[in-house]
Amino acid sequence: MSYNKAPSITAKVRIFTYEPCGEIVRHARRLEKEIYDNPGSLPFQEIIYCNLGNPQALGQRPINFFREGVRSLREAVADGIAARDGFPSRPDNIFLTDGASSAINMMMQILIRSHEDGILCPLPEYPLYSASIILHGGTMVPYNLTEDSGWGLEIFEVKRCLEEARASGLTIRAMVVINPGNPTGQVLSITNQEEIVEFCRKEGLVILADEVYQENVYTENKRFNSFKKVARSLGYDHHDLSIVSFHSVSMGYYGECGRRGGYMEICGFGDDVIDEMYKLASLTICPNIAGQILISLVMDPPKLGDEAFEIFMVEKEETYSSLLKRAKALQKAFSGLEGVSCNKFEGAMYLFPRLRLPQAAIKAAQLEGVSPDVFYAHRLLGATGIAVVPGSGFHPVSGTSHIRCTILPGEETITAMVPRLQAFHEAFMDEFRG
């Protein structure tokens, strides 16, 4: 017997990209080493990482309650979901996972049978989805969010993409919805969610609801509603529609990225499918216990009368208020730059401003063999030490340029960062204007 020593998965791994940890970040690490080895050699003294959604890596203090105490696990998560939505949740429908990523990968493995199976995904997208679909042998079917309407999700656009995919011979299995959005930061209206529920019910699609930023909603006229709550409010139960929702301890106001805790709640699947899910989940024995404990605490935080309640609420409000101040400062800064537009920040942890760069800058990028947003991000990093993610890594509409910038650096850091950003951008535009 002979074995193929070059695993077939290698080709698939080469296909997808993951820009949040891509070349810009690797270059930032090299510059950081240069600052350490040769102080004063660069025009800045530190790298400001605006590329990742990891709050504590950027100095945010952990919420004390999430570092203490244990009560129960799946039961606590189910109770927390029921309290949040006002509809029952069964512990047997909860899978505790090593963060949301492992749950998403598990669902792709369950849903995708061959390259003829398609998954509807939003563009711009969080690249975990395209990567996971590719790795599991499926076909990503993109639908475009509309930037001019605040990154809105237009159901007629989704329907068009679905019909074109089916006409090409694909079987569409599910629709991914990220709410609040990453990288775009929008929060879906309840009306929009109802349209999606009705659409997926009619078309027989599983809703894959990425709800990891459900605690990060900053706009007064919108609030987070889970897709399960929306479906139940419309009168649909598990016989009518299949929904999988994902959550994680990495996001929210707690930002416990290193703890690797999360869950998925599955609704509307038969017992035979659930049995197969348990079998697949069992291959990894179990998720880490610290992550399991933490996600149960996230879903069952202290209540009025509990010993930890007062300090928990103070820490939560301080963190939330600070995130909002940082978001407003960055949104104002980006919106004030020549040739840059930035939609109103509604949720999650990111801004996704659009760059309208001079033709000379676009030509310079072409000469270097990179996209304009990569060219801009490299120049920004080299001049200021500010590391952002080129928007092309999230696959926005062709011909547009964006960057994704997190709101997570501390308030003082952002205050110091804004003038550097403004000075760089003015010099960049002057250099390439003619």
* Burial bucket for residue 330 (CB in 10 Å: 0-12, 13-18, 19+): buried
**Residues forming a β-bridge with 266:** 244
Considering the domain architecture, whether residues 49 and 75 belong to the same structural domain is answered as: no
Considering the domain architecture, whether residues 417 and 380 belong to the same structural domain is answered as: yes
Total number of domains in the chain: 3
* pTM of the model as a whole: 0.84
Considering the domain architecture, whether residues 288 and 154 belong to the same structural domain is answered as: yes
385 part of a folded domain: yes
Considering the domain architecture, whether residues 289 and 356 belong to the same structural domain is answered as: no
6 part of a folded domain: no
13 part of a folded domain: no
- What is the pLDDT, as a whole number, of residue 3? 31
- What is the pLDDT, as a whole number, of residue 1? 34
Could you tell me the CATH number of the domain that includes residue 91? 3.40.640.10
Alpha-carbon distance of 135 to 12, in angstroms, equals 6
Over its length of 434 residues, how does the chain's per-residue pLDDT go in tens digits? 333 333 333 344 455 566 676 778 878 888 998 998 999 999 999 988 888 777 877 778 877 776 656 447 889 999 999 999 999 999 889 999 888 888 999 899 889 989 999 999 999 999 899 999 999 999 999 999 999 888 889 999 999 999 999 999 999 999 999 999 999 989 999 999 999 999 999 999 999 999 999 988 988 888 999 999 999 999 999 899 999 999 998 877 777 777 788 899 999 988 878 877 877 777 776 788 888 888 888 888 899 999 899 999 999 999 989 999 999 999 999 999 999 999 888 989 999 999 999 999 999 999 999 999 999 999 999 999 999 999 998 988 888 999 999 999 999 999 999 999 999 999 999 999 86
Considering the domain architecture, whether residues 151 and 295 belong to the same structural domain is answered as: yes
294 with 259: CB under 8 angstroms?
A: yes
182 part of a folded domain: yes
Which residue type does 59 have?
Answer: G
> What angle, 0 to 180 degrees and rounded to 10, lies between the N-to-C axes of helices 372-384 and 359-368?
90
Considering the domain architecture, whether residues 261 and 188 belong to the same structural domain is answered as: yes
Structural domain span for residue 26: 19-58
DSSP result, 197-217: HHHHHHHTPEEEEE-TTTT-B
Taking phi first (over 0 means left), then psi (-120 to 50 degrees means alpha), and beta for anything else, what does residue 241 get? beta
Could you tell me the CATH number of the domain that includes residue 364? 3.90.1150.10
Alpha-carbon distance of 125 to 385, in angstroms, equals 26
Considering the domain architecture, whether residues 280 and 373 belong to the same structural domain is answered as: no
Nearest of 267, 265, 310 to residue 94 by alpha carbon: 265
4 part of a folded domain: no
77 part of a folded domain: yes
* 241 three-state secondary structure: coil
Pairing of strands 262-267, 243-248: antiparallel
